[in-house]
Structure 1
Amino acid sequence: MGFSVVSLIVSTLRMSIPLLIAGMGAVYASRSGMMAMGVESMMLFGAFGGVFTSYFTGNVLLGFLTGMVCGAAVGLLFGLLTVRFRLNQVIAGVGLNLFMGAITTVLMEVVWKSSGNSPQVASLTQAVRVPLLADIPVVGTIFSSLSINFYIALVLLVITQYVVFHTPFGLRLRMVGENPTAANTLGIPVRGYKYTAMLICGGCAGLAGAYLSLDQLNMFVQEMTAGRGFIVLVMMALGKYTPVGTVLAALLFGFADALQINLQQAFDVPSQLVQMMPYIVTILVLTFGIKHVKGPAGTGKLPEE
């Protein structure tokens, strides 16, 4: 495919999907006062779990469900380490990221006798054709090229926006993130809300990981998340910890990723140079974009005992 505006838009939306899905989960975590440093590990284990189930059952839907469960399990583990055992959240997140990178490599060797990638499995490759929308010139071409996960991401955006800012659960969640001691004094189960937020975060990250392995590809590749979990944290800060802001930031990073793919396809540009683009954008955002952005005041804090 040569370089064109339509192909660039389609690639941008496709590259944004895992960031959108994982970002919605990370919003819950951040609003509860959790740093969610382990999003990378949740995505990676979700990607592996999805391929593992798809390989042995041939059912891609079960693969996505398994990916969500695997991500939620890692999210809960992060919650236990940081809430129950009061481990520093940065240390716990980095440790889980390293551990999941190693354990998935070991499991690949055990299951498939390969440390690089799994065999090809049943995957979700069918794009969704939306009635009426598909008949609109250009717009129909763009949206008819996207999988159902794009629309799942949009639904998650609406749900997250409503739950976090327009429900009693969301109000208590934000209070837990701002002042856990005051929330505890009012009788709000602070630890319960943090565990719930991490389960949601892990489930969304696991689904995002399963998208990478069962939608973008049809296999699991070692370290296939390629730092997307860290990009989620940066884009969430750029979006000021709001669902809509996070989506806009995800589209920015998706555009950077899509641009490097389209440049490689259309021009004779060294791949090593253009592959740096998403990470260059990340560095620029860290340097100039979030200097004055502050997260919830209670981030990393637990109620006094």
Structure 2
Amino acid sequence: MKKTVAIYENALDHIKGRVDADQLKIQWIPYTKEGMYLVDGKRLNPQDVRVDYLWLSPLVSIEKFLPEAFEMALQTASIKVLQTFNAGLDHPFYKKIAALGTMICNSSAQGVAIAEYVFAQVFYRFHPIALQRQQQADRLWRNTPFRELSQSTWLIIGFGPIGQAIARRAKAFGAKTLVVRRRPQTAEHVDHCASTSELLELLPQADIIVLACALNERTRQLANRQFYTRTKPDALLINVARGAVIDHQALLEALDQEKLGHAVLDVFDTEPLPPTDRYWSHPKVSLTSHTSFAGSGTMARWNDLFLANIERFAKGERLENLVDPASLLD
């Protein structure tokens, strides 16, 4: 019997030619923006459909019907496995679908792009690029010293695919890498790995602090007032996790009181960020519009990950990026 794979109809157009459905013994079940399944030429309500595998493609978000897709999935009679384009699973939908017994695979496709975003922001702060451009315009021949990454210490909070990609690149530059994760384990490219209980001890060592952790009750407002009492006054904080990992009032106070050098923020509690928010005009804040994932290779990696997992699923092999349900339901 063929295994059924539900996929947004426009996403199917992107990958159909790369999969031999007959060889893998799978049956495509497209779904629409209206939350209907297309089965054997018929439009069926989710309550009347059981699927073995559902792919939440990034096109669902790009084409702006993610809430409807979430609701469709929750209303579907049964889904054995759901693969999502999201890396973080803090949206309440994932807890609800996991409670129904659905296994979830999240995404590692964003890791490369987000790591490169982090390094672009660090280089911009470490190298006087704007000054160099001005000196060129002024035809001024003058030396412009800069900070070397090889002399820096990185504290990476969260060590999933994103944190790992960042640590790998930092180590390639000769930097010292400290990692905080839920279960401290030694890892390649890491000089010291610790649990959150050691966080306050590690903060004074860090020149660059990267928030790359999942959002849950343990990490909500992790970067609070106590956090900033331990940071170097010239440290650089970069948040590519979720906005709620930061106590925003505490961050602004830390910047104003020179307890922290600069903050690079790509994620916020409210998105889009309201025009009246103080972050827009703060001289020690660089902000971007939740864009760190938007590298030129991310879409291809999303599709590659889905295709690789579909082949594993069809062959009965272990799936990549399978999430521990306890991490969602505890």
Bucket of the pairwise TM-score, normalised by the shorter protein = under 0.3
- More strand by proportion, 1 or 2? 2
TM superposition score normalised by structure 2: 0.21
- Which structure has the larger Rg over C-alpha atoms? 2
TM superposition score normalised by structure 1: 0.22
Which of structures 1 and 2 has the larger relative contact order (alpha carbons within 8 angstroms, sep 6+)? Answer: 1
